[in-house]
Amino acid sequence: MFNQGSARMFSRCVQVLRRKLQVSQVRYLSDRGFNVPPSAEFVARVSGIATMGKLPFQSSAAGLDAAFIGVPIDTGTSNRPGARFGPRQIRSESFMLRAYNSATRAAPYESLMVADIGDVNVNLYDLKDTCRRIRETYREVLQTGCIPLTMGGDHTIAYPILQAVAERHGPVGLVHVDAHADTGDTSLGEKIGHGTPFRRCVEEGLLDCGRVVQIGLRGTGYSPDNYAWSREQGFRVVQVEECWYRSLVPLMEEVREQMGSGPVYLSFDIDALDPGFAPGTGTPEIAGLTPVQGLEIIRGCRGLNLVGCDLVEVSPPYDTTGNTALTAANLLFEMLCVLPKIKYYD
């Protein structure tokens, strides 16, 4: 006979069994009611459908605190193509990710409901129409209160994403990590491309310009002061030479002060990293940041009021080892680990 007590016991046993068995392909919920990816202790790392971090896929952002979302375009790129394959390669390499951050002791899957919500249905033949599709998709995502963690795609996508973000939050602070300022006016006569998104954002009042920092800028320029326009807008520009040979922990203390408590968007172009570490990208520049400095920047965003993050410009055809996409997957996990309301173990 089943009384209430034994029914509870039975349900508890099923839960424990389910955790112990963890049959391949089965996504499960933890006792706490959050999505938790299956552990490679029990489910072969290489098995399963390639969602980001092996999280469940769901088709909308409803009910989520944060969502991974892909924007597979490279039609805005000026040099090497291939970033349209970025989201799927990042997902593939993300199978190495585990559930906890060993360094910061963040436990994202004990505090937020997270899933992979697939890709924006882009138009590969029309970049402006793609921007419209991105804007409309992000509007819907943001309406649910979900924080988007975007896998690019070339950097053009930051413009329509920030249009949707500013519509919801007002002008935002921006932590922009990149080899390039991406503040060009036009390229080949075109206003929309991966070298112009932040100029468009400023023109439309999407950024709180005193709360913008650009980190890692370098390379040859079209004029002696390639970053004059950024500085004129009130951006803080941290050229890569200021980053060489040093920890960026002190810089990030200043960045946190600059950002204050207002909403902040984090946009990380993988080409900020040295091409020795991340060769799979569209417009590489030598003498870049190290992966360690990349981690210091993202971990230094802990405590900010982050309302969205992206990791862009991974180009798998130039990523012969997969390490660029692997780095991108890890950086995206680190972004998840610094979102507001994340639980940390002491």
Residue list for the binding site: 155, 178, 180, 182, 269, 271
Of 91, 155, 199, 302, which lies in the binding site for Mn ion, with binding defined by CB under 5 A? 155
Of 178, 181, 35, nearest to 114 (Cα)? 35
Q: Out of 65, 93, 182, 296, which residue is the one contacting Mn ion (CB under 5 A)?
A: 182
Report in angstroms how near the CB of residue 329 gets to Mn ion at its nearest. 19
Q: Which range of residues in 9-17, 52-60, 179-187, 214-222 is near Mn ion by CB under 5 A?
A: 179-187
37 vs 216 by CB, closer to Mn ion: 216
The smaller minimum CB distance to Mn ion, of residues 63 and 221, is found at 221
Q: Which is nearer to Mn ion, 67 or 83 (CB)?
A: 83
- Give the one residue of 178, 274, 310, 319 binding Mn ion; rule: CB under 5 A: 178
Verify binding: residue 200, Mn ion, rule CB under 5 A. Answer: no
Give the Cα separation of 233 and 190 in Å (integer): 22
3-state secondary structure the chain: CCCHHHHHHHHHHHHHHHHHHCCCCCCEECCCCCEECCCCCCCCCCCCCCCHHHCCECCCCCCCCEEEEEECCCCCCCCCCCHHHHHHHHHHHHHHCCCCCCCCCECHHHCCCEEEEEECCCCCCCHHHHHHHHHHHHHHHHHCCCEEEEEECCHHHHHHHHHHHHHHHCCEEEEEECCCCCCCCCECCECCCCCCHHHHHHHCCCEEEEEEEEEEECCCCCCCCCCHHHHHCCCEEEEHHHCCCCCCHHHHHHHHHHHCCCEEEEEEEHHHECCCCCCCECCCCCCCECHHHHHHHHHCCCCCEEEEEEEECECHHHCCCCHHHHHHHHHHHHHHCCCCCCCECC
Binding site for Mn(2+): residue ranges?
Answer: 155, 178, 180, 182, 269, 271
Q: Amino acid identity, residue 213?
A: V
**Shortest CB 197 distance to Mn ion, Å:** 8
Sole window of 51-59, 104-112, 149-157, 294-302 interacting with Mn ion (rule: CB under 5 A): 149-157
Task: For Mn ion, give the closer residue by CB, 108 or 308.
Answer: 308
Rounded least distance, CB 135 to Mn ion, Å: 19
Range in contact with Mn ion (rule: CB under 5 A) among 30-38, 153-161, 167-175, 319-327: 153-161
Nearer to Mn ion, 118 or 153 (CB): 153
Count of positions on this chain that bind Mn ion (CB under 5 A): 4
Which residue in 336, 338, 305, 331 sits closest to 172, CA to CA?
A: 305
Among 116, 208, 269, 319, binds Mn ion (CB under 5 A): 269
The window from 97-105, 243-251, 264-272, 321-329 that contacts Mn ion (CB under 5 A) reads 264-272
Q: CB of 267: closest distance to Mn ion in angstroms? A: 8
CB of 218 to Mn ion, least distance (A): 12
Which CB sits closer to Mn ion, 116 or 178?
178
Residue placing its CB nearer to Mn ion in the complex, 51 or 226: 226
Tell me whether residue 197 is exposed, middle or buried, using C-beta atoms within 10 angstroms of its C-beta: 0 to 12, 13 to 18, 19 or more: buried
In the complex, which residues of this chain contact Mn ion (CB under 5 A)?
155, 178, 182, 269
